[in-house]
Chain A
Amino acid sequence: MNKLKVTLVVLLSLFFLYGCVQTNILDKVGLTTLVGYDKGSEHKIETTAVIREVNPEFQSKVEVITTENDTSKGNRMEANRRLSKKIMVGQMRVVLLGEELAKEDIRYYLDTNLENADVSNSIYMAVVEGRTAPFLTYEYKDIDDIGQHIYKLIEQNVRQEFMINATLHQIAHDYYSIGKDLAMPIIKRDQEFVELSGVALFKGGKMVSKLPAKDSFYVKIVRDTFKVGLYETILDNDDIPSKILQKPTDKITIAFDAIHSNRELTLVDAKKPEFDLDINIRSRVLEVFPDINQGDRKSVAELEKAIEKKISKEIARVIAHSQEVESDIFGFGEKYRSIVRHSNLTREKWHKLYKDMKVNVNVKFVILRDGVFE
């Protein structure tokens, strides 16, 4: 009988404690799909949130609300005062940062989202050229839900490997690990469109420079492996071996998709430091303009050589640029730390070393197939 009493107590407490659980019924909450942070006046944070509300009268609608307060939660409370529904952030997909704010320090915005258990770690982060508030409140002609649109835009480009992958999880990893700096896509409004315009380079928590969107291919190929990406490159006159040309021209444009790439990083000299960067790319050539004779094996080999030369030149340029602004987005420092014993590497120490680091880029480019594709 004693056991029966215990069961009864447990069952009764189940019933009475029911009232203590907070419910978030789907149609009674406003779902934040995107949040943009800006620098407000007097050290305040200006937050722009894209919130989807569902009402019986007008089906579902998207509201963009800009508020200014000292904290991110304070902004949420302020936004709550303007809406008929409780604001929840569990469905948030994208966090945008204003350029001005990114140039200062992003640490607070990273932490506040990381520490919130409601926020998924797989949300995307990006930097907006200019301020986020006008970017989000602009009434795009063909875009119904700006939050969902930006999410799909970034996701699609990341999947296709046109853009580097910058989820909250990855950014937090890069931010807190010594010997690697984070990078994010840059997004901007272009007339009636939203466009990914480049890659933002960070030194610690500060944005220090940006690369054009075309260079994200080189960033990606040095950072990690490549599986599906499509790329187009231009061979200049002095790179072109004259033999393969059918008629004289001053440049050749080549579009190829890298079926597979891998990179290998070896530390040659720890003191200097000096790295060997070997990159293997196996690809299919999709388009060549103007036409060259691809039937000839020799001319294909010449073409491979030319592309190798071109890519290694570009990679060297991108790395040199990142060295200049002391932003190690490729993770050379991680490699250095893992190999050199008792390096006692700190962020400052590495940034100093990184500036004078020497990298020997060695690209091996193999054309697996050419001709008819897709």
Chain B
Amino acid sequence: MKFKLPFNKKQPQPINEAPKESLVRVASASDHFIQSIQNATNNPADLIIKLVPPNLTLIYIDNLVDIETLNNDIIANLQNKPHETLEEIEIAMSIPEIQHSNLLKETVESMVNGSVLIHVEGYSQVLLANIATRESRALSAPENESQVIGTQVGFNESLSTNISLIRRYIVSPELCNEKFKIGTRTNTSISLLYMNGIANDQMVNTLRQRITDLYIDELLDSAVLAEMIDDNSLSVFPQMLLTERPDRFCDAILDGKVGILVDGSSMAIIAPQSFTEFFQSQEDQNLRWQIATFLRLLRLTAFFLSVYLTPFYVAAVTFHYEVIPQAFLVPLSESRALVPFPPIFEALLLEFIIELLREAGARLPTKIGQTIGIVGGIVIGTAAVQAGITSNILLIIIALSALASFTSPSYMMGNVIRLIRFPIIILAGFWGFYGIMLAFCFILIHLLRQTSLGAPYMSPFYPPRMKEMRDSIVRMPIPLTAKRPALTRPKDKNKFKPQPVKPKKS
């Protein structure tokens, strides 16, 4: 069944019936101009109006402009020197980015973005000198996607810093950067990045269209954007990767994927993304292929363990006592003997406690969070068993599956793993192994139906792409992975020329 999204992604842009304000021209008289700017911006407290004798007026918003540049390169050059024409002023200032405008709306928009307006008495045109400064924190290590071997730098909240980081990794004129503004009120800048000559045009066009079709009033984080431009926003499974690692971003872009950066957000969006790629870490590329393969298989095992171990316990203890090995029978039933609840309730209770601990640990300050973890783990765990609420073996299983869910390199996917466990536990408690199979089939069918930017989500398993399994749940040595994934339909299929299998002896 296809669920329709209640949020219409393709809202028609309201037709602008040539609003009068956008055509209002800049007044030539200084006091009129100042008045009109004050009206347009609702006269905020940080609006600075500076008169430079004899005939200039400077207007800007405090904290948005670089004060040092303003003092040294604008005011110092203009003061006490009579300037007659706009061209003369432009030459006098040592500022690289200067625009002319005679429309009031454009002027105000430019000022809000960090320009200084320079108005000359008697001219119905203003100069817009862009000397914007943006508050941003320094670059730091990626907290959510830390890795042992590899670069220790993550994106920060500044779009320009992030783009410069990427440009430093990919020094090539083929790196395309398209800018958009999203949000009628926030006017958030976003950048669409891809490699010309590698990325598929159709995918770039699709993504560009999805972004430009958005008609919303605010955009504060890239996660929101990712959810809105997903193929299926109602699915629990994320279809685009959110990453804060520039190396991962660049690796994806060089594979032919398309990336999006949002100003004010430290997470970049990458699409298309297949299901298996959520279990890959950038560190895999930095390790020897045997070790990387082991780690990838470990993560996949952890995924299945985390999702199916608790339901398996519940189903086996509730319905299918036949499958329990004989050696395990006595310890299992002895640990269950004191528990007054049915296994499904026991499991749900303990899962609930674990989720509480995780949530409390995530919300509290770091130092208290650790204490909560220890208190929760030891005190609640031991006390619950002694009070006869849960059995020892279930406690081990729940702890193991909680641990396993954190091995996913993508936090988004880890959340999904923890969430889909609950319905499976309930089904296992209702119907036993049949319930687990029902849930498994439902999840599998759902995953098979998903697409990411039109590319099949379960690739390379469905459709089966045998050669691409080399870099999916295993990682083969680099010479064997010379081709870019067909998932992205790249224009240039080869990363490098693959060596012949048996090189001729020279």
Chain A: residues with CB nearer than 8 A to chain B?
3-4, 7, 14, 18, 21, 23-27, 29, 31, 33, 52, 54-56, 59-60, 88, 90-91, 93, 118, 120, 148, 151
Contact = CB atoms under 8 A, between A and B. Distances in A.
Contacts of B285: none
B321 A26 contact: yes
A148 B326 contact: yes
A42 to B, nearest CB: 34
21 contacts: A3-B1, A4-B1, A14-B430, A18-B430, A21-B430, A24-B318, A24-B320, A25-B318, A25-B342, A25-B343, A26-B336, A27-B336, A27-B339, A31-B321, A55-B337, A60-B330, A90-B321, A91-B322, A91-B324, A148-B326, A151-B326
A26 B333 contact: yes
Nearest to A93: B326
Contacts of B329: 31, 52, 91
A234 B497 CA distance: 73
B10 to A, nearest CB: 22
Contact of A7 (B1, B321, B336, B337): B1
Contact of A59 (B317, B322, B334, B432): B334
Given A23-B342, A26-B332, A60-B330, A118 B322 contact: yes
Range of interface residues on B (Cβ < 8 Å): 20 to 34
A27 B342 CA distance: 10
B322 A52 contact: no
Contacts of B1: 3-4, 7
A26 B317 CA distance: 5
A60 B432 contact: no
B431 interface: yes
Given A21-B430, A21-B432, A54 B334 contact: yes
Contacts of B343: 25
A54 B331 CA distance: 10
Contact of A54 (B318, B337, B342): B337
B179 to A, nearest CB: 41
A25 B317 contact: yes
B311 to A, nearest CB: 15
A270 B297 CA distance: 59
A55 to B, nearest CB: 7
Contacts of B319: 21, 23-24
Contacts of A21: 319, 430-432
B338 interface: yes
A52 B327 CA distance: 13
Contacts of B432: 21
B187 to A, nearest CB: 39
Contacts of B320: 24
A140 B152 CA distance: 68
Contacts of B317: 25-26
Q: Which 5 A-B pairs have the closest CB atoms?
A: A90-B322, A54-B333, A27-B336, A18-B430, A26-B317
A9 to B, nearest CB: 13
A26 B337 CA distance: 9
Interface string B414-434: 000000000000000011100
A18 B426 CA distance: 11
A3 B236 CA distance: 20
Interface string B292-324: 000000000000000000000000111111101
A21 B318 CA distance: 11
B2 to A, nearest CB: 9
Contacts of B338: 56
A352 to B, nearest CB: 43
Given A88-B321, A151-B326, 18 more contacts: A4-B1, A7-B1, A18-B430, A18-B431, A21-B432, A24-B318, A25-B336, A26-B333, A27-B337, A29-B321, A52-B330, A54-B330, A54-B333, A56-B338, A90-B321, A91-B324, A93-B326, A118-B322
Given A60-B333, A60-B334, A23 B318 contact: yes
Nearest to A54: B333
Contacts of A54: 330, 333-334, 336-337
